Amino acid sequence: MSSLASLLTDHQDDICQTLCLIGDYWSDRISTLGNRRPDSSGRFNNEATWTFLAACGYAICGGDGVAKLTELLTSRSDLVQSCYSGIWLEFRPMTPRIRESRTHIDLAIGTIGPDAGTKGGIRLGISEDSNPWICFCEMKWESDISRGVTNDPDRNQLIRVIESALYFQNNETFTGEVYVTLVTPSVFRDSQLIPKIYSGKFREYESDTENILKDLRNCRLEPRGGFDAAQRIGALTLRWQTFDELFTSIPDSAISDALQSFWQNYGTYSE
């Protein structure tokens, strides 16, 4: 096992007080980390493991870590942390479309609770002392967004995450504020070109929310319960953050130096 994998294992109890995982997720990521094989450029190309490492760096700091991650992902420092605060990896909210499986959300924070009776399901957590909000993150390393579901080959992954975030609820109580954040290496966000499908789609959606609604209207799957995203679109904020900033901003802890060193050695792209 690598030194970083061993270090994380030593601090697993502290990390998992805030990091919400399902099944064998921890052991799978530690195994992948311990058996890592850099690519020809020397980088470690594993999106799920980079997401896990970044999440660990904030989770070990408890509520303060969640607050700092929240500010990085939403650009808001005033969002109230509720009793449901945590960092959720690979959980699945209810889909707003009939005949579509639940969408896996790479990373989620906000007013979130488990959806009882489901495996890995999440729903809006109701808190009396705060206004509910959520941030769903689509994490991409070098892969692009997938296209299509079984019954709609034109439905892209980013629009699925956006609509799932808008639909996120608890007995028809919806979130007051909805954030969807794309997280990639900075080289893709800062490029003057459009190197990925998600680059064009994100910029299209960010420039005019009518482009989001147009893609949703063209979906071949029937909305669940007559859900109309147009009534919720005003709650949405789109952001594009980078793995680079997440790692360089990790708060001080027993694992922060090791995480940032690992990032410098295996994550950054040459200028």
| This prediction's pTM | 0.93
Q: Is the pLDDT of residue 112 over 80?
A: yes
Among 240, 253, 224, CA closest to 100:
224
pLDDT in tens, 218-257: 988 889 888 999 999 999 999 999 999 999 999 999 999 9
Among 84, 89, 79, CA closest to 53:
89
Structure tokens at 179: 């954030």
pLDDT in tens, 11-35: 999 999 999 999 999 999 999 998 8
Q: Is 49 left (phi over 0), alpha (psi -120 to 50) or beta?
A: alpha
What's residue 235's pLDDT?
Answer: 97
Structure tokens at 211: 């482009």
Residue type at 92? R
